Amino acid sequence: MANKNLFQSTRGKKLPQTNATNLAGGRAYAFTPQHALAQYVATGCLNGTFYATAGEQLEKIIELAGQVDDHFLAKTAIYSRRKAYMKDTPALLCALLANRDVALLAEIFPQVIDNGKMLRNFVQIVRSGITGRKSLGSAPKRMVQAWLNRVNDEALLAASIGQSPSLADVIKMVHPRPKNAQREAFYAYLIGRAYSEENLPSVIRQYENWKLTREGNPPKVPFQMLTSLELGKRDWLTIAKNAPWQMTRMNLNTFARQGVFKMIGMSGKIANRLKNPRLIRQARAFPYQLMAAYLNAGDDVPNKIKNALQDAMEIALENVPEIKGNVVVCTDVSGSMHGSVTGYRKGSTSKTRCLDVAALTTAAILRKNPNAIVLPFENDVVKVNLNPRDSVMTNATKLASLPCGGTNCSAPLAWLNKYRRPVDMVIFVSDNESWIDSPHYGYFGGGATNTMREWNQIKQRNSKARMVCIDITPNETTQAKERADILNIGGFSDQVFKTIAAFASKSLHPDHWIGEINQTIIKTPMKKQAI
């Protein structure tokens, strides 16, 4: 009789052969260049991760960008900025496009380079030489000039915060032609040249006068322009009253130290701002940023503020879908998930881990789908008791405190098969770097991943079951090969939930996530720029 280990019969769909090795050394399925590029751009912050350095990520994005056409590159840049809320990688794609199709870059520039931080990122990347040129060139220079002349005084002042390059550096580089006397004076003020004081915007005149006299309240200028000065309690009160949403979220402990919350009515005012639905959406807040603010809030931050952060979390997660049928969420709690979600960069590494984002995503899905089964896993499935009526923050914190080990993505699926649980939708939240189960497969050629083997068994009992693999780290492989019943998606904005909802309702484009990116409309700017 032939060797049974070599010639096993396979019921159901034919299992795909692996064709790649993941960063942890396990066998995997390679994404197409389009999918891999989207994955890197939607999750990568160009910082070091558990498995790859910042330089390796940069090289991979540039390599993958060279394997896709210009229009997909442009659409991915728009998607990653408008939907995934990324900062560095969309600017990188624009810099790459500057060498390939400047007319196409001109069309997407206003959509992607939408604030001063993005403008400075774009200029910095181009001038670094990493994308093939060390100067902007005439066409990109005109795009930067148009941006500077198009934005209002408030946006231009906000853009002046930050260095390497500073906005003054950018202005000196591109020499924008002022549209009026006020903008001419403003440019001169920003680059340290002589200017007509009477032509300055009123907010700048107020700021300069206040610095000298300290009479009245601080003007409404960016927070950073005031904190370098000596400020009293009254000044901090005014700053807190006028602070935008993101600045408020990031400075709760500072406000507490400065006694802001002890002033009558301020706790309520700031709490209402934090949980304002319009401001939350306008700020493009990542849900994990609210979790970080909640976890980092000190003892001096009032409970009213902490409760507002939880209310804000519920609003930020409003796109989490209610899914019909039997839902299972598989949360990766392995060691590699303990790396910073935005990667490692000296002096600016986020304390929020990939694990925190995975735990938050899981808790949010459980909140909307209270009958869902949650299966945390590392080497094997880890037991946890979650109450779907508890807050998202409470359950996320509980999940994030579980012990860690290696990565075995097939473990929760094996558990479902062992207990023959009915399944309609399985959602993985992981970095996809499974390696514990890798030695157990590979009879011929690449073999199939154990994740696909276990999924095949589930499909034999649940023919309509679907699986979503949410990846929150930049890589180019998966444990579950993309097909009609399997969706691979990267990112950690609320757009992920919208895509899951479309997949669950079977209304997603046949090409899944990449089809969604391909449907991005490249809009022509209102005022066409000369190339």
Could you read off the pLDDT of 68-89 as tens digits, one per residue?
Answer: 999 999 999 999 999 998 989 9
Tell whether the model's pLDDT for residue 228 goes beyond 70: yes
Number of Cβ atoms within 10 Å of the Cβ of 32: 15
DSSP assigned state of 4:
T
Q: Look at residue 222 in the predicted model and tell me its pLDDT.
A: 86
Q: Look at residue 44 in the predicted model and tell me its pLDDT.
A: 81
HEC secondary structure over 93-161: HHHHHCCCCHHHHHHHHHHHCCCHHHHHHHHHHHHCCCCCCCCCCHHHHHHHHHHHHHCCHHHHHHHCC
Could you read off the pLDDT of 316-358 as tens digits, one per residue?
Answer: 888 899 999 999 999 999 999 988 877 666 666 667 788 999 9
Could you read off the pLDDT of 440-456 as tens digits, one per residue?
Answer: 444 444 689 999 999 99
The residue type found at 153 is D
User: What is the residue-averaged pLDDT of the chain?
Assistant: 89
Average pLDDT score over residue span 164-185: 94
Give the residue extent of every domain in the chain: 20-28+319-518
Q: Look at residue 13 in the predicted model and tell me its pLDDT.
A: 59
Residue among 17, 16, 41 at smallest CA distance from 476: 41
| Torsion-angle region of 259 (φ positive above 0: left; ψ -120 to 50: alpha; else: beta) | left
Span of 221-225, 489-493, 524-528 with lowest mean pLDDT = 524-528
Q: Look at residue 6 in the predicted model and tell me its pLDDT.
A: 43
Identify the burial level of 413 via C-beta atoms within 10 angstroms of its C-beta, where 0-12 means exposed, 13-18 middle and 19 or more buried.
Answer: buried
Q: Look at residue 197 in the predicted model and tell me its pLDDT.
A: 92
pTM over 0.85: yes
Tell whether the model's pLDDT for residue 400 goes beyond 70: yes
Q: Domain 20-28+319-518: which CATH class?
A: alpha beta
Span of 173-182, 217-226, 437-446 with lowest mean pLDDT = 437-446
Percentage of residues in the chain having pLDDT higher than 90: 68
- Report how far apart, in Å, the C-alpha atoms of 78 and of each of 104, 146, 159, 447, 520 are: 12, 19, 20, 37, 8
Could you read off the pLDDT of 461-491 as tens digits, one per residue?
Answer: 999 999 999 998 888 999 999 999 999 999 8
Residues 6+ apart with CB under 8 A from 155: 115, 116
Structure tokens at 436: 């514990």
Average pLDDT score over residue span 367-372: 94
Q: Per DSSP, what are the bridge partners of residue 466?
A: 425
Residues 6+ apart with CB under 8 A from 476: 20, 30, 31, 36, 39, 40, 60, 64
Structure tokens at 453: 């083997």
Rounded CA-CA distance 489/470 in Å is 5
Rounded CA-CA distance 82/379 in Å is 37
E strand residue ranges, 431-505: 466-471, 477-478, 486-490
Rounded CA-CA distance 408/432 in Å is 9
Per-residue pLDDT band for 410 (boundaries 50, 70, 90) equals very high
Residue with tokens 């807190």: 240
Average pLDDT score over residue span 123-149: 92
Percentage of residues in the chain having pLDDT higher than 70: 92
Tell whether the model's pLDDT for residue 46 goes beyond 80: no
Rounded CA-CA distance 500/466 in Å is 11
Q: Look at residue 285 in the predicted model and tell me its pLDDT.
A: 80
Q: Look at residue 445 in the predicted model and tell me its pLDDT.
A: 46
Tell whether the model's pLDDT for residue 130 goes beyond 50: yes
DSSP assigned state of 340:
B
Strand order in the sheet with 20-21: 20-21, 27-30, 477-478
Span of 77-86, 135-144, 225-234 with lowest mean pLDDT = 225-234
Span of 183-192, 277-286, 324-333 with lowest mean pLDDT = 277-286
Per-residue pLDDT band for 524 (boundaries 50, 70, 90) equals low
DSSP string, 242-278: H--HHHHHHTHHHHHHTTGGGSTTHHHHHHHHHT-HH
Tell whether the model's pLDDT for residue 380 goes beyond 60: yes
Residues 6+ apart with CB under 8 A from 14: none
DSSP assigned state of 242:
H
